[in-house]
Structure 1
Amino acid sequence: MSVTQRRMRKAAAVALVAAVALGAAACSKKEEPSGGDNGGKIKLIVDSFGEFGYDELIKQYMASHPNIEIEQRKTAKLDDYKPQLVKYLAAGTGAGDVVGLEEGIINEFKAQPDNWIDLKQYTGDLSGDFLSWKYDAGKTADGSKLLGLPTDVGGLAMCYRTDLFKKAGLPVERDAVSKLWPTWDDFIKVGTDYKAKTGKALIDSVTTEFSAIMTQLGEPLFYDRQNNVVAGTSQSVKGAWDKAVQMINAGISSKTATWSEDWSAGFKKDTFAVVACPSWMLGIIEGNSGPENKGKWDVAAVPGGGGNWGGSWLSVPKQSAHPKEAAELAKFLTSADSQVAAFKAKGPLPSNLKALDNPDFQAYKNPYFSDAPVGAIFGAGAKTLQPVYLGPKHAAIKERAFEPALQSIEQGKVAADKAWTNALAEAEKQAK
């Protein structure tokens, strides 16, 4: 067998693994490994989850770099994305040239710094461009290497359906809606009022409110800063849990598991009227709700005030065949102008300081969300966001221990006390 034939067979096998594991939306149409050359061009693959808002930016980059071809592989759920990335890194092949790392998983991947290139060797020191805590969180523990360039931060708000509020006899103007729920107890009262008038639940699932409340209450969450699992003694975790159970008991949840097919369909079926809404959720809501619901959504303040849920970094695996070009692409995608464009496209809140100061960002109104001044809403507190320490397996503990436990209460399968015990036991397993 010739060298060319062996390469073609190996490339096809890698593409098949990616297609099966990441799904149709994420798979590569090219039978080439990540970082391969294509028709004389350098091919780069960008792996991401959710919606980073990069579609037009990538077209723009390729137009100005005719020697570069870029393929996006998108995965809807982080819980599907992470294990596939782990497999790629273990195999030493298959990962994108630029990969997104979410705040709940980055510490786990940073624990193996040899898997990643030091971006500073290609990008230089960009510390002055970003929120300082966000930039520092992309470094190794000793601060010697930069493994991730900051993308977004997760400033919080609440997205709501104005038409459904109107039918329920509730205020629909965003400032008036914000005044309805200065606290989470007030929010629950709105939910019970909404259900009494419509017979429907106010929210999708308590898991989203659980995440929001937990970050508002502050660290320690699932881990302390020495990476000990402290979920069982954390006042923030227990406080968020108790409030979520209170919501379930009040009957304001539609019991629709976030990211499920029913959840995606629920946006068009009016299954719920409110979604806890970090900035990056805007594009997901728009995608699920469809063009027929344009102008029916708006954005109000989050109960309890403030909070930070979500946010990511772009990293380059050491296995990339073109680390220099990949790092330059990551630098472009995280630049001030690109972060403003991504925000306007899909909602990720910039972490780049020049982006946050950009008049186009500050003045931007989202036409899908009733022309809500989302630049002002989300940007107002972006520079004062306080980071919360997330341990190595934060995402796994949240998504595989606490969220399923809360969903089991919602579904009436397990009593709250037993579900709490189950969550803590599963958290210990996920932390290993």
Structure 2
Amino acid sequence: MSLTTRRSRMAATALAAVLVASGLAACGNDDDAPAEGEKPAKLVVDTFGEMGYDELVKQYEQQTGIKVELRKTAQLGEYRPKLVRYLATGKGAADVTALEEGILNEFKANPRNWADLNPLVSSEIADDYLPWKWELGKAPDGRLIGLPTDVGSLAVCYRKDLFEAAGLPTERDAVAALWPDWNGFHQTGQKYKQATGKAFVDSITAVSNGVLFQQGTDLFYDKENNIIADSSPGVKAAWDTATSMVDISAKASTWSPEWSGGFKQGTFATTFCPSWMLGIVADNSGEANKGKWDVAAVPGGGGNWGGSWLAVPEQSKYQKEAAKLAEFLTNATSQVEAFKAKGPLPTNLEALKNEAFLSYTNEYFSNAPTGKIFGESVAQIQPVHLGPKHQAVKENAFEPAMRAFENGQASKDKAWEQFTKDAQTQGAF
């Protein structure tokens, strides 16, 4: 038996124990069950990043008289461990829980942790969403564990004032013309650095995300969920493209304090923006930088980075009411309002045709027609098979190895070797 196989079996055994424990714990709250028809005084919603729900939950409170507590976690890396703990202990989970695409498959492994939404939501809504997005919300046993929220159509956010200072074009179509491919992006970055002496892009891990999610191929896993990190063409393309751009990088990894502060300080001129990132860029940049940012097409012509679902944990005492809240937050009107507030790109078909969405311009980003920019790419988005522990491989193996190279702690070859070794451990399931 190979080391990889032994690790996989040991990890699978350990995970199974946790899942069994969490499944039992989830069924252990019968004594606290509410009376039939009892209305909850409060429902709790857990999200990460910015999903644009602040005003929507206020609307729901006014319509229903039910208080809604919105618990936000800034980073997915902090969000997932808390959720794992809630499921393992059978307590602490919100009534409505956001599940990101990178962790969704992992949590599908034990669908007993999640309420089946099929009998709890309107039977007609299955046809309201992008078909592939709806199907990904189902567990292998057919249980519907998540209602679609958004997808992460890709673009580039860039600082017009910094481009102008470097003698580069600033109008978004002219900017997009600078980089029809990734080589063009690199060359533009080199021109920028030569003119200003400053970094062009926030980090090479940001570049790798842009490349990874436009491959249209398997990434860290194949369709049978075997780890293929060391042989995946898509992963190797992202690695080679990203590491080639170390000379134009600010080495500010996404979500780090240096990254968050870099937006206000002008440490870098570009970052890769799935639509849900717009609100985060604006929040980090602050009011003083309003109108300095704009949005242009991504090199290579598109891609899908991110996207989520809303689920109801089995341990919720108010599953029916929680499902209604999830349905409200994902309906067409709410998805348009969430997009206008913070940028999450709708998956509701009616929302995608809504004139308020299609004609929307983002004032913070120089009145960029973000509804048009992101909306036109939705039809081209294809689902990518991520595998059960995609997020763990990406965050704990791929990106650390890339940062080790970026920071001069390892050669490119040594960093790749470390990644392929760590991927086997992190990806074991």
Please indicate, yes or no, whether the TM-score normalized by the shorter chain is above 0.5: yes
- The alignment status of 1:57 with 2:56, answered yes or no, reads yes
Aligned ranges for residues 61-80 of structure 1 at < 5 Å?
61-66=60-65, 68-80=66-78
Q: In the alignment, which residue of structure 1 is the partner of 2:79?
A: 81
Q: Distance in 2 between matches of 1:208 and 1:220?
A: 19
Task: Give the partner amino acid of 1:98.
Answer: V
Change (3 A) 1:138 1:35: farther
Please state how far the C-alpha of 1:220 moved relative to its aligned partner: 1.2
Once the two structures are TM-superposed, the CA of residue 381 in structure 1 deviates from its matched residue by 1.5
Structure 2 vs 1, CA of residues 35 and 422 (structure 1 numbering), >3 Å: closer, same or farther?
farther
Q: Which runs of 5+ in 2 are unaligned?
A: 1-31
Counting only pairs closer than 5 Å after superposition, residues 28-427 of structure 1 correspond to structure 2 as 41-66=40-65, 68-125=66-123, 126-142=125-141, 144-248=142-246, 251-427=247-423
Letter of the 1:414 partner, please give it. A
Q: SS where residue 369 of structure 1 aligns?
A: coil
Kept in 2: contact 1:155–1:279 (CA 8 A): yes
- State the alpha-carbon separation in 1 of the partners of residues 109 and 46 from structure 2: 20
Is the partner of 1:284 in helix, strand or coil?
A: helix
Question: Are the counterparts in 2 of residues 99 and 315 from structure 1 also a CA contact under 8 Å?
Answer: yes
Q: Provide the secondary structure at the position in 2 that maps to 1:360.
A: helix
After TM superposition, give the deviation of residue 36 of structure 1 in Å: 9.2
The secondary structure found in structure 2 opposite 1:271 is: coil
Instruction: Give the distance between the partners of 2:94 and 2:143, measured in 1 at CA.
Output: 20
1:204 counterpart SS class = coil
Give structure 1 stretches of 5+ with no counterpart: 1-33
Counterpart contact for 1:134–1:351, Cα < 8 Å: yes
Matched residue type, 1:151: T
AA paired with 1:238? K
For residue 41 of structure 1, report the CA deviation from its aligned partner: 4.9
Distance 2:326 2:151 in 1: 17
- Counterpart amino acid of residue 240 in structure 1: A
2:206–2:253 CA contact under 8 A, matched in 1 = no
The CA deviation at 1:343 is 0.2
How far off its partner does 1:383 sit?
2.2
Secondary structure class of the residue paired with 2:244: helix
**Contact 1:35–1:96 (CA<8 Å) still a contact in 2?**
no
1:81-132 deviation digits (Å, cap 9, x = unpaired): 0011001001001000000000000000011100001111110332200000
Indicate the SS of the match to 2:351: helix
- Tell me which residue corresponds to 1:26: none
Secondary structure in 2 aligned to 1:122?
coil
Tell me the distance in 2 between the aligned counterparts of 1:295 and 1:35.
51
Q: Secondary structure at the match of 1:282?
A: helix
Q: Does the CA contact (< 8 Å) of 1:155 and 1:349 recur in 2?
A: yes
Q: In structure 2, what is the Cα distance between the partners aligned to 1:196 and 1:173?
A: 21
Deviations 1:350-376 (A, max 9, x none): 000000000000000000000000000
Partner Cα distance (2:117, 2:370) in 1: 31
Q: Distance in 2 between matches of 1:391 and 1:157?
A: 25
Secondary structure in 1 matching 2:264? coil
Q: Which runs of 4+ in 1 moved over 3 A?
A: 34-37
Aligned equivalents of 1:425 and 1:80: distance in 2?
24
User: What is the Cα deviation at residue 340 of structure 1?
Assistant: 0.2
1: CA distance between counterparts of 2:353 and 2:67? 32
Query: Is contact 1:49-1:100 (8 Å) kept?
Result: yes
Q: Which amino acid aligns with 1:234?
A: S
CA contact (8 A) 1:154 1:348 kept: yes
Instruction: State the AA in 2 paired with 1:105.
Output: I
Structure 2 match to 1:12: none
Matched AA of 2:126: S
Per the alignment, in what secondary structure is the counterpart of residue 219 of structure 1?
coil
Contact 1:148 1:315 (C-alpha < 8 Å) held by counterparts = yes
Is 1:155–1:309's contact at 8 Å kept on the other side of the alignment? yes
Distance, in Å, in 2 between the alignment partners of 1:69 and 1:359 is 31
Aligned position for 1:21: none
- Native 8 Å contact 1:336 1:352 kept in 2: yes
Contact map agreement 2:358 2:375 (CA 8 A) in 1? yes
Question: Deviations for 1:251-305, whole angstroms, at most 9, x for unmatched residues?
Answer: 1100011101111000011000000010000000000000100000000000001
Cα–Cα, structure 1 residues 112 and 382, in superposed 2: closer, same or farther, change >3 Å?
A: same
Identity fraction in percent: 58
Q: Which amino acid aligns with 1:44?
A: L
Deviations 1:62-82 (A, max 9, x none): 01111x111011111101100
Q: 1:42 corresponds to which letter in structure 2? A: A
User: Equivalents in 1 of 2:304, 2:184: separation in Å?
Assistant: 21
Report the residue type matching 1:49 in the other structure: F
- Residue 280 of structure 1: SS of its match in structure 2? helix
Listed one character per residue, the Cα deviations across residues 308-334 of structure 1 (whole Å, up to 9, x for unaligned) are: 110000000000010000000000000
Cα shift readout 1:397-427 (whole Å, capped 9, x = no counterpart): 1111111111111111110000001111111
Aligned residues: 394
- Aligned residues of 2:40 and 2:318 also touching (Cα < 8 A): no
Contact kept? 2:205, 2:242, Cα under 8 Å? yes
Distance of 2:157 and 2:33 partners within structure 1: 39
Alpha-carbon spacing, 1:35–1:418, altered in 2? closer, same or farther (3 Å): farther
